[in-house]
Amino acid sequence: MHRVSRRHFMQTAAVGSAALAAGPTVVSAREKPVLLGGTPVRTQSWPKWPEWRREWEPKILEILRSGRWWRGRGDHVEEFEKAYAELIGTKRCLATASGTTALLVCMHVLGVDAGDEVIVSPFTFIASYNSILLSKALPVFADTDPETWTINPQDIESRITDRTKAIMPVHIYGLPCDMQPINTIAKTHNLAVIEDACQAWLAEYQGAKCGNLGDLGCFSFQNSKHLPTGEGGAITGNDDSIMDRCHSFHNCGRAYGSSSGERQYFTRGSNRRMQQIQATMLIQQIDKLKKETATRQQNADYLSAQLRNVAGIQPAKVPENATAVWHLFPVRYHSESFSGLPIDKFIQALNSEGIPCGRGYHEQYFDGLIDEAINSRGYKRLFSDQRLKAYRDSLNDLKGNKLVCETTVAFPQTVLLGKKEDMDDIVDAIAKIQKNSDEIKKA
Ligand SMILES: Cc1ncc(COP(=O)(O)O)c(C=O)c1O
């Protein structure tokens, strides 16, 4: 195990370049990139994810032994819902089986129906697209802002048609969308706003948490997430009657709260319920989430400031009065500042230096799921040929998104759980690759 300190690396690099001017020099193994036969900037491991603590086990065992595993036979899911609503600052929360099911419930309850259109960010996990497609609606993509990675509010209005029913901004990577102009557009055109906050637990925008900025917010607690329980999700909102309808829909359409009438099944529904064990795992991790969020934010601020000094590396711009929570830490990589080194080779070089990172989302709308939908019998009944053709053609207009897909390098959230010196390792590795980019490219 060894660590090359940032200071040491910079010193040796400076000595190396001074010596170069004076004549031939011997480049130390540490200065040499691993891909050229050198030794890595870092051999220490990064924090593992997810983390389990033995102190959480008694409560889980209690539930297992009670046999009261589903939400109908205990109060742990409700207990979590109260705690999570308080955390996000909303009046209500409904726990669900996953983030995808949370989105699907919201689609149904906010009236997204077959043949409607929903404006959504293209740079997102595929579940955002799927929740719209499974509602038999058209996901209409507004372009991505290449500086923020989120939906460009200025590209929304021109995409509204008489079928548009909702906007789904996605706070991707925990980066809050610029919600003020989005909400203004929604109000003007009478559209619902469903926040996909599945990666944005505790992110804030103008004094309110993501998930409390639109009509309804959706969260995921899947294994990789900052608040994980294997699979799980939640809906947050402030309107009792809407939240009661969400409850009904997620529980097979059974009447609930203000939706209770004379007839039990007054509405269609599905089973999207969370289990008691999942809720208990979540409740016990809330304090950890708060502490780790602060650590990630501190490290991300430091890392962003350091990387802004590196030519060709562009960290994310966060809207004013907003705080990101960094489910991933993305940068845009400009290969021209790295002797034209292709992005995949840059990632390979960083990985070999002991720095985990990978590509962002690709242009998923060309993968086949959209074509499959719009060529299906159902969609052909619901939309005119002319609309489907114009829609398909419009996928080529997403220039900002294409750029973001082509240039994103993303670091996992676990690297942000380290110390300041760990952030220096990332900066040092990038500097080392930049200095040797010409040779790495040739290798
Ligand atoms: C942006 C986004 N939306 C939706 C989802 C769906 O959540 P789940 O995987 O819990 O169904 C995820 C999960 O990865 C996500 O990242």
The answer to whether the CB of 98 is under 6 A from ligand 1 is yes
pLDDT tens-digit map of 272-294? 999 999 999 999 999 999 999 99
CATH code for the structural domain at 54-284 = 3.40.640.10
The answer to whether the CB of 215 is under 6 A from ligand 1 is no
Q: What is this structure's pTM? A: 0.94
Does residue 31 surpass a pLDDT of 70?
Answer: yes
Q: Which residue has a Cα nearest atom 12 of ligand 1?
A: 198
Does residue 30 surpass a pLDDT of 80?
Answer: no
Burial class (CB in 10 A: 0-12, 13-18, 19+), 340: exposed
pLDDT at 5: 47
Please tell me the least confidently modeled range out of 13-27, 257-271, 363-377, 400-414. Answer: 13-27
Radius of gyration, alpha carbons of the chain: 24
Does residue 419 surpass a pLDDT of 70?
Answer: yes
Does residue 11 surpass a pLDDT of 70?
Answer: no
pLDDT tens-digit map of 60-82? 999 999 999 999 988 999 999 99
Q: State the fold for domain 6-48+289-360+405-442.
A: Aspartate Aminotransferase, domain 1 (3.90.1150)
Measured N-to-C along each axis, helices 240-250 and 99-109 cross at an angle, to the nearest 10 degrees, of: 120
Q: What angle do CA 191, 194, 196 make, to 5 degrees?
A: 150
433: CA distance to ligand 1 center in Å?
A: 33
Of 162, 184, 170, nearest in space to 116 by CA: 162
Question: Best substitution site from 100, 173, 216 to test ligand 1's pocket, by max atoms within 8 Å of Cβ?
Answer: 100
219: CA distance to ligand 1 center in Å?
A: 7
pLDDT at 335: 98
CB 347 within 8 A of CB 358: yes
The answer to whether the CB of 97 is under 6 A from ligand 1 is no
Tokens, residue 157 = 């209005």
The answer to whether the CB of 125 is under 6 A from ligand 1 is yes
Question: Best substitution site from 220, 231, 361 to test ligand 1's pocket, by max atoms within 8 Å of Cβ?
Answer: 220
The answer to whether the CB of 233 is under 6 A from ligand 1 is yes
- Segment 398-405 shows an average pLDDT of 98
The answer to whether the CB of 149 is under 6 A from ligand 1 is no
Question: Best substitution site from 118, 121, 199, 218 to test ligand 1's pocket, by max atoms within 8 Å of Cβ?
Answer: 199
More confident position, 5 or 280: 280
Does residue 23 surpass a pLDDT of 70?
Answer: no
Average predicted confidence (pLDDT) for the chain: 94
SS3 195: strand
127: CA distance to ligand 1 center in Å?
A: 6
Question: Which one-letter DSSP state was computed for residue 220?
Answer: E
Q: In whole angstroms, what is the distance from residue 443 CA to residue 441 CA? A: 6
More confident position, 100 or 2: 100
Q: Which residue has a Cα nearest atom 8 of ligand 1?
A: 99
pLDDT band of 262, cuts 50, 70, 90 = confident
CA distances from 78 to 6, 69, 104, 207, 256 (A): 49, 13, 21, 26, 14
pLDDT tens-digit map of 95-133? 999 999 999 999 999 999 999 999 999 999 999 999 999
194: CA distance to ligand 1 center in Å?
A: 14
Of 259, 262, 208, nearest in space to 237 by CA: 208
pLDDT band of 25, cuts 50, 70, 90 = low
Does residue 267 surpass a pLDDT of 60?
Answer: yes
Sequence spans of domains, the chain: 6-48+289-360+405-442, 54-284
73: CA distance to ligand 1 center in Å?
A: 27
Does residue 303 surpass a pLDDT of 60?
Answer: yes
Q: In whole angstroms, what is the distance from residue 332 CA to residue 91 CA? A: 38
- Segment 5-33 shows an average pLDDT of 53
The answer to whether the CB of 198 is under 6 A from ligand 1 is yes
pLDDT tens-digit map of 145-186? 999 999 999 999 999 999 999 999 999 999 999 999 999 999
The answer to whether the CB of 201 is under 6 A from ligand 1 is no
CB 90 within 8 A of CB 238: yes
Share of the chain above pLDDT 70, in %: 93
Q: Where are the beta strands (DSSP E) in 290-365?
A: 313-315, 322-323, 328-333, 358-359
SS3 443: coil
DSSP 3-state helix, strand, coil percentages of the chain (rounded to 5)?
A: 50, 15, 40
The answer to whether the CB of 199 is under 6 A from ligand 1 is yes
Does residue 20 surpass a pLDDT of 60?
Answer: no
Of 76, 122, 74, 130, nearest in space to 102 by CA: 130
Tokens, residue 401 = 């998104």
Q: In whole angstroms, what is the distance from residue 228 CA to residue 220 CA? A: 8
Question: Best substitution site from 129, 222, 325 to test ligand 1's pocket, by max atoms within 8 Å of Cβ?
Answer: 222
Does residue 13 surpass a pLDDT of 80?
Answer: no
Does residue 407 surpass a pLDDT of 60?
Answer: yes
CB 203 within 8 A of CB 323: yes
CB 308 within 8 A of CB 315: yes
Does residue 7 surpass a pLDDT of 80?
Answer: no
Query: How many other CB atoms are there within 10 angstroms of residue 295's CB atom?
Result: 13
SS3 193: strand
Q: In whole angstroms, what is the distance from residue 217 CA to residue 200 CA? A: 10
